[in-house]
């Protein structure tokens, strides 16, 4: 799973608010039913975004392989019909274009995740959403970013333990049920420990967060984001 990695790339030096603005603008463009030519242009833009964060498309495709497999399956299900003509080409093409746009958004989000520390994401959200709602949202985002990798590691550990104990000899539904039940049990246990740890450390709603400031590059990214999000081409 992709996660933040310290580096000195262009994306690492940008303000998280500017990167969030670009993500929103890119999502608007990619999900607004663009033409094939527009999707090709957005593909080049997504590839350039990955380069600014020091990522290769291959690593992102592997890291998000399950999500991309789900998108491919959605295209297949949209194209297949129960009765004649059995294959709905128009529906499949329409879903394929939408799925491709979602895939491009995932590529751009990967660049954000790799180049933005969790504390900076929290600080950006709390500055964009004022008051208690912003503090609650920022805290929730920071916990999700920290909790999901741990839960994923637990699932992989349970799967590997089953394989060592010849769990692969059992049926697929049985394995899925066992992994799901044990993963939920461990996730709830971790959540309880997290709650106790937060109380023990006197969790503050007004935590000291890093200072954020816009540079010239950040303003350029915001201006470019506005151009992308409001372009009449979409």
> Tens digit of pLDDT for each residue in 173-220?
888 888 888 888 888 888 788 777 767 766 665 667 788 888 999 999
Mention every residue, 6+ apart, whose C-beta is less than 8 A from residue 206: 135
Helix (H) or strand (E) holding 30: helix 16-30
Which of the pair, 15 or 141, is modelled with greater confidence? 15
Half-sphere exposure of 224 (CA within 13 A, CB side): 14
The answer to whether 82 and 109 are in contact (CB under 8 A) is: no
Name residues whose C-beta falls within 8 Å of residue 18's C-beta, 6 or more positions apart in sequence.
Answer: 214, 217, 218, 219, 221, 222, 225
Mean pLDDT of the chain: 83
Whole-angstrom CA distances from 181 to 157, 175, 184 are 14, 10, 5
Residue 46 CB burial class (10 angstroms; 0-12, 13-18, ≥19): buried
CA 185 to chain centre: 25
- CA 169 to CA 171: how far, in whole Å? 7
- Pick 92 or 7 by higher pLDDT: 7
At 137, is the pLDDT very low, low, confident or very high (cuts 50, 70, 90)?
confident
Check residue 169 and report its DSSP letter. G
Pick 40 or 171 by higher pLDDT.
Answer: 40
Please give the Cα distance from 60 to 110 (Å, whole number). 7
Asked if residue 23 lies in contact with residue 53, where contact means CB atoms within 8 angstroms, the answer is no
178 against 49, higher pLDDT: 49
pLDDT at position 42, please? 92
Cis peptide before 85 (omega within 30 of 0): yes
pLDDT for 48 equals 94
The closest of 97, 49, 75 to 234, measured between CA atoms, is 97
pLDDT at res. 201: 65
Nearest to 19 by CA among 90, 84, 113: 113
| pLDDT at site 49 | 95
Pick from 17-26, 30-39, 78-87, 140-149: least confident: 140-149
The span from the CA of 27 to the CA of 49, in Å, is: 13
Q: Read off φ and ψ for residue 170, nearest 5 degrees.
A: -85, 165
Task: Please tell me the pTM assigned to this model.
Answer: 0.74
């Amino acid at each position: 799973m992709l996660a933040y990695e310290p580096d000195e790339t262009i994306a690492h030096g940008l303000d998280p608010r500017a990167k969030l603005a670009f993500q929103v603008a890119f999502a608007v463009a990619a999900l607004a039913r663009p033409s094939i030519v527009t999707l090709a242009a957005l593909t080049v833009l997504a590839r350039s975004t990955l380069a600014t964060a020091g990522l290769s498309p291959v690593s992102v495709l592997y890291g998000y392989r399950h999500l991309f497999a789900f998108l491919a399956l959605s295209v297949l299900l949209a194209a297949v019909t129960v009765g004649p003509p059995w294959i709905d080409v128009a529906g499949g093409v329409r879903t394929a274009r939408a799925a491709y746009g979602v895939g491009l958004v995932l590529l751009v989000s990967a660049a954000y995740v790799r180049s933005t520390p969790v504390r900076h994401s929290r600080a950006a959200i709390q500055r964009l959403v004022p008051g208690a709602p912003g503090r609650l949202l920022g805290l929730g985002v920071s916990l999700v970013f920290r909790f999901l990798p741990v839960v994923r590691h637990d699932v992989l550990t349970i799967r590997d333990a089953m394989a060592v104990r010849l769990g692969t000899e059992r049926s697929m539904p049985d394995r899925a049920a066992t992994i799901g039940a044990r993963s939920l049990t461990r996730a709830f246990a971790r959540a309880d420990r997290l709650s106790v740890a937060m109380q023990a450390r006197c969790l503050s709603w007004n935590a000291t967060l890093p200072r954020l400031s816009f540079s010239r590059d950040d303003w350029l990214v915001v201006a470019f984001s506005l151009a992308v999000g409001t372009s009449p081409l979409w």
